[in-house]
Amino acid sequence: MSHSSKAENKFEYVQSGETQSNSCILNEFAIDNSTISAQLQCGMPCNALSQCVGVDIVGDEAKRCRLLYGFPALIPSDTISDDRYQKSTGISIGTDYYCSVQLTNGQIISTLCSKGTHEWMLIQRRFDGSEIFRRNWIDYENGFGSEESEFWIGNQKIHELTNDGYTYLRIEMMDHDCVWKYAEYSTFYVQSGSSKYKLQVNGYSGNAGDSGWQVEFCTPELGDSMWYHDGMFFSTYDSDNDYWSNNCGLTRRGGWWYNSCHKANLNGEYGNTDHSNGINWYYWKGFYYSMKEVRMMVRKP
């Protein structure tokens, strides 16, 4: 796998307008006018905190430092300064970076990668609603969006990745209080377009549940919202392949492996808090809560 990064001195400068996000402020404090640079004054406490993913230096004469947390490599855009930095040591734990992989058939797939305990390839990312996910079948098949913002890598590429052995799935979600949870699946496979990109997903582990939600009788694990989609075909508003008498892709405002309709709706409408129409993960927040940020990624076992 090849990759690239613009990291320097443990922080990566992020130009204005790039990798915008609604990342959360972990701490904020004043920067003094000593001989120590503002970046160093801000960066040292960030380096000491594992949950700090970057810093934001704001203000003109009286500068202040914001320590940021949330998802890695997503830096906020609502600042009057361009002094935004993302925590990085080249390709370090908790850093997104551009990468590409050559499949056994010779095809090269490029996307973003994330390095934690393992190296993951991102197939979906959402964080600000800048990209419309209420798309037709062709768009979902080919992919849309940009790695610089929100994107769906495309069903055909997901099929090719899983067919090449990228069969572990990780889903990360963050709510509007900057609490994030994850779900991992040891089996993830998407069939070809001729089989309507039928999904196989099982082997859940993670913490993406809330004990306050009643676990349904047939739910294998608290937090496993993908069980309901195992064995389902992909559906969009113009290609209805779900089990509901109506059209889930039309009513739930996204493309997904709908059943009748969902327990997870990660391609739903950003910010929509109507029943089942937002970015939902039922076994954590229910049907009326739309996640602030979410991303999906795959790797080989």
Q: How confident is the model at residue 71 (pLDDT cuts 50, 70, 90)?
A: low
Q: Decide the pairing of beta strands 54-58 and 24-30.
A: unpaired
Per-residue confidence (pLDDT) for residue 16, from 0 to 100: 30
DSSP class per residue in 262-285: -SEETTS-TT--STTTSSEEHHHH
Per-residue confidence (pLDDT) for residue 65, from 0 to 100: 87
Q: What residues does each domain of the chain span?
A: 2-87, 103-299
Cis peptide before 113 (omega within 30 of 0): no
Q: Which amino acid is at 237?
A: Y
26: β partners: none
Q: Decide the pairing of beta strands 75-76 and 20-21.
A: parallel
Euclidean distance between CA atoms 14 and 57, whole angstroms: 12
Q: What is the pLDDT of residues 30-66, one digit of tens each?
A: 998 877 888 788 888 887 887 777 777 877 777 888 8
Euclidean distance between CA atoms 234 and 241, whole angstroms: 7
pLDDT exceeds 90 at position 24: no
Per-residue confidence (pLDDT) for residue 261, from 0 to 100: 97
Cis peptide before 65 (omega within 30 of 0): no
Per-residue confidence (pLDDT) for residue 159, from 0 to 100: 99
pLDDT exceeds 50 at position 265: yes
pLDDT exceeds 60 at position 9: no
Q: What is the pLDDT of residues 209-257, one digit of tens each?
A: 865 554 554 455 668 999 999 999 999 999 999 999 999 999 999 999 9
For the ranges 39-43, 87-91, 187-191, the one whose mean pLDDT is highest? 187-191
User: Could you tell me which CATH class the domain 103-299 is placed in?
Assistant: alpha beta
Question: Which CATH fold topology does 2-87 show?
Answer: Hepatocyte Growth Factor (3.50.4)
Euclidean distance between CA atoms 171 and 199, whole angstroms: 15
